[in-house]
Amino acid sequence: MGKTKKSFISMLLSFSLVFSLVSVLLVKPVDAKTVRVAIISALSGDVTIKKGGGSKTYDAYESMSLNQGDTVYTGDSSSVTLNLASGDADVTLGDNAELNVSDLNSANGNKKSKLKVWAGSMWVKVKSLAGADDEFEVETPTAVMGVRGTQFFVSVDPVSGKTKMAVGSGRVSASTVTSNSDETQSTTITYVNPTQEISLDSRDETKDLDLKVEFFDLEDFIKNASPEIIGELIRNKAEIDKENDEFIATKQKKIADGTLTNDKNSLSIKDQSELDRVKQNLDNLIGNVAKQAIASSKIDQKTVDAIIAEANKKIDSPDKKLDLSKVKPLDKTAGVDPELEKKKQEELKKLEEAKLKSKLEKEKAEAAAKQKLADALKKLEDEKKKIAEAKLAAEAKAKAEAEAKLKAGMTEKEKQEFEANKQGTTTPTTPTQPASGDNSNSGGDTSPPAPTPVVSLEVADKVDVSIGEVATRTSFNLNINMTDFINTYGKDIYGVEIHLLYGFNAFYNYHSEVPFTANSTIFTNPLTSADYIKAYESQGPQNELLYAVTNFGSVPNISFTGTKKLVSIPMETYGATTISVGKIVIVRKATNNQVEKIDVPITSIQSKTVGTGTPMPNIDFPPV
């Protein structure tokens, strides 16, 4: 019994496996979405690639694969040809171009290709798309071009975004999407045929795109197309002729059947005579491009001849081979309905007038905004002037009060000397401090002498950090202080320049992320003064640091009593070092605005030793 049950279970499992296999084979597989690639088939000059989602650019090379999201850049006199998704399309970019591979995938057997062009020019050759739902689009800042099988040219101005698209063969749709006041969007579309082009300055330029379709501008095309694009157009003559012959045959059949309708979106062809004129333009389009390229010196005769020979090898019919001596000029009136063209030009005139009016209104608004800004700046400047004048008046008042208070404690002789110094009738002298215990002077005057200006160094915020057993790094702020600069004795200041000298193992502790601030209690107003700091590091026995600060404009000289900080300089040293002042220049501005120098004896300036331990060897220490 157990053996029979076991055999039955084995048979059941076998049938289950067989049915599972059959079901897998019979069910139609779901076509997963796959991403295709583009291949660089040719390039010249400076061509770079930025991968999708990345920030770096890489040099391009032949056979390089491009994926969805990648961006291609070309430099001056450069070009690149892309083969999209196994030959579905060929794209040739001219110089100074920027193209993004926006979409390049397939799903359920349908292919979707979308390119975004932000600058430069390109020639696109799209093979006939096999699937009814296949899509190929080129998007620019102002329009979207949709095609099936065709060849066309696109150029985009990198500054304005203005787009121009010209068709060599086939039919291209051009559409724009604009936003309405009710937050909805409107799509406008037109169609461009061989020997036609469309120019769009913006997406909302007009709601009737048919107005912007016009006859192919040969000279403008040669001006904007690179030699590589022109050469590619000539090489493709066989394919372009084939597609244009199909276009003519379709129109001819409709004329014969009596089913031809005149559509304002396409070439106006009413009868066989008009169709013959259009056909002549199509047959001579490439020849005129080649001749104009030579006449404009865009490509030399020898190069064009070589390209023509290459193109003729692919053409079987002798009548279709390109011979520049047999090329006929283009007829700009072919396929143009005179009545429709007249109405179109009237509408275009209205459109241009509206654009001009809008431009003038925009310029007027910008001028008004600039004037408003200028008025605001003038008002601010006037307020600053009033504040400065009020400050000067307050300082003059304080100076007068201080002078009166000072004179109140003077003897008559001191008052006379003081007034003489003010008038400049005598040479100002700096009283010196008498020797200790000596209270006499030549005039028997026992009044205290005026203070002597002093510059001193002070170490603040010192932090020592041990570096293993090698040395100690000391970080500190070096304060340069000034004492007793009073205008009574001609020691008021307008600017100061100080040169610090210190050992090779000390550094100005500069941090780019933390801008230097002087933290001065003398030059306190950044609106009326400016400072400068520069360290000169060497491998010799000493480094040097220069610090300078000065007032500017009509700001008066600065005077003060007591000790005030000129500047606080962040520094560090590896081991002990001595910091001293090697040179100091103090300037003041006289009543005639001439700058005068005041010499401060170096011997009166203190030196400071900072840090501990023996200085580390003379090597290039990086600031922390």
Highest mean pLDDT among 129-133, 310-314, 396-400, 586-590: 310-314
Are the CB atoms for 234 and 286 separated by under 8 Å?
yes
Mean per-residue pLDDT, 562-567: 89
Residue 437, pLDDT score: 40
Ramachandran region, residue 170 (left: φ > 0; alpha: ψ -120 to 50; beta: rest): left
Per-residue confidence at 452, pLDDT binned at 50, 70, 90? low
Residue 152: how many other CB atoms lie within 10 Å? 23
Are the beta carbons of 135 and 113 closer than 8 angstroms?
yes
What is the predicted pLDDT for the residue at 188? 86
Residues, the chain, total? 624
Contact 610, 474 (CB under 8 A): yes
How many CB atoms neighbour CB 457 within 10 A? 18
pLDDT in tens, 403-439: 777 677 677 777 777 677 666 544 444 443 433 444 4
Contact 481, 552 (CB under 8 A): no
Please give the angle made by the CA atoms of 273, 278 and 281, to the nearest 5 degrees: 135
- Tell me what pLDDT residue 281 has: 92
d(CA 422, CA 487): 10
Place of tokens 């107005």: 211
pLDDT at 446 over 90: no
- At 103, give phi and psi (nearest 5°): -145, 130
Q: In terms of Cα–Cα distance, which of 463, 77, 506 is closest to 298?
A: 77
Q: How far is it, in rounded angstroms, from Cα 66 to Cα 52?
A: 9
Average pLDDT taken over every residue of the chain? 80
What would the pLDDT profile of 259-318 be if each residue is shown by its tens digit? 776 665 567 888 889 889 999 999 999 999 999 999 999 999 999 999 999 999 999 888
pLDDT at residue number 490: 60
Q: Model confidence over 6-62: pLDDT tens digits?
A: 444 454 445 444 444 444 444 444 445 566 788 999 999 999 999 888 888 899 999
- Give dist(CA 60, CA 85) in Å, integer: 18
**Residue 424 confidence (pLDDT):** 53
Nearest residue to 198 via CA among 207, 211, 208, 185: 211
- Greater model confidence, 592 or 289: 289
Task: Tell me how far CA of residue 495 lies from CA of 200, 530, 556, 603, in angstroms.
Answer: 61, 10, 11, 21
Strand 110-126 and strand 135-139: the pairing is parallel
Q: Which residues contact 150 (CB under 8 A, 6 or more apart)?
A: 126, 167, 168, 169, 170, 171, 172, 243
Strand pairing partners for 117? 99
CA-to-CA dists, residue 490 to 111, 288, 415, 428, 586, angstroms:
88, 87, 16, 7, 12
Confidence of residue 440 (pLDDT cuts 50, 70, 90): very low
Asked whether the predicted pLDDT for residue 468 surpasses 80, the reply is no
Higher pLDDT: 357 or 433? It is: 357
What span, in angstroms and rounded, lies between the C-alpha atoms of 473 and 451? 38
Q: For residues 238 and 492, which has the higher predicted lDDT (pLDDT)?
A: 238
The total of other beta-carbon atoms located within 10 Å of residue 65's CB is 10
